[in-house]
Amino acid sequence: MPRLIIRNLKNTEVYVEINQYVLKALQAQHIDWMQACGGKGRCTTCAMQVIEGQASLSVPTPREQHWQAQKRLKEDERLACQTTLSEDCVVVVPAKYQLPHLHYSE
Ligand code: FES
């Protein structure tokens, strides 16, 4: 099963089932993650910056393409609520979407 490794959150490893959205896997494993719109692709607050394993991510959805065109999502960022994995990847939580009660290393 692919792993999402969250580098700036103590290298936390989250197992993501094939065809499972990353946000659902985070929730299933009780990892707090910002998600203002509840996983509908409407807010970008669930963004993750991909450090390694870009090719193992699903193709950007129309919602992600919309936010990329609006410059609300950078080229190396993906929405956790829209993305699935086929292999391991390494991400960081962007500073603007870090939760105040968690301790991030970068
Ligand atoms: S939770 Fe709002 S875009 Fe993912």
Instruction: Give the start-to-end residue ranges of the domains of the chain.
Output: 3-97
Q: Please give the pLDDT value at position 106.
A: 66
Residue partners of 14: CB distance under 8 A and separation at least 6: 3, 4, 5, 6, 22, 25, 26, 29, 31
Taking the CA of residue 63 as reference, the ligand 1 atom at the shortest distance is 3
Please state the pTM of the whole predicted model. Answer: 0.96
**Cα 103 to ligand 1 centre (Å):** 21
**Cα 80 to ligand 1 centre (Å):** 7
The per-residue pLDDT for range 69-93, each reduced to its tens digit, is 999 999 999 999 999 999 999 999 9
Q: Is the CB of 61 under 6 A from ligand 1?
A: no
Rounded Cα distance between 50 and 58, Å, is 12
Rounded Cα distance between 82 and 64, Å, is 8
**Cα 48 to ligand 1 centre (Å):** 11
Q: Is domain 3-97 classified as CATH 3.30.420.40?
A: no
